[in-house]
Amino acid sequence: LGLMTLALTRSKGAAAAACVGVGMVVVLAAAERWPRLRGAAPTAAIVGVAGAIAAVALRGAAGPPETWRGERSLLFRWQYLEAAWRMFAEAPLAQRLSGLGPEGFHVGYEVHKSPLSPEVVTSSHSVFADWIVMLGVGGAAWS
């Protein structure tokens, strides 16, 4: 069912997440056979998350595509993260401590979004950024 869902949605992010998941299963299976690899699973998980964040940042740094056919999914995620950072940085101290809440993100995104972003979103599409912006200090601690 998972492979069928990937095929039907054609989601690049879901396909990448599935590859990372399969890689984690391989690392865990190898760690069972070779005890020296037991510490590799947490490292592999951190590398997977850091790799996803790096891919979004690199795509954001590349700027908009030259044609309408260019890749925009990662670029939009970069724009969501930029807007989330701006709304958190410009919020009053009390809101940075307590968070903006889900509705606060939605309203703030309209003010801080990139002029190139045609979408209206209610989330930054990053669980870490969402927790920090929506929950404030508690969300940062949770992250």
Q: With beta carbons less than 8 A apart as the criterion, state whether 116 and 64 touch.
A: yes
Res 127 pLDDT > 80 = yes
What is the CB neighbour count within 10 angstroms for residue 138? 14
pLDDT score of 108: 86
Alpha helices in 10-112 (DSSP H): 12-33, 40-62, 73-90, 93-98, 101-112
d(C-alpha 143, C-alpha 139), whole Å? 6
Res 98 pLDDT > 80 = yes
> Higher pLDDT residue, 111 or 12?
111
> Higher pLDDT residue, 138 or 117?
138
Predicted model pTM: 0.74
Res 69 pLDDT > 80 = no
Q: What is the mean pLDDT of the chain?
A: 84
Convert the pLDDT of each residue in 10-53 to its tens digit. Answer: 877 788 888 888 888 888 888 888 877 777 778 888 888 888 88
Distances (CA, A) of 2 to 17, 29, 87, 132, 137: 12, 21, 36, 30, 36
What is the CB neighbour count within 10 angstroms for residue 50? 10
pLDDT score of 121: 84
Q: With beta carbons less than 8 A apart as the criterion, state whether 14 and 6 touch.
A: yes
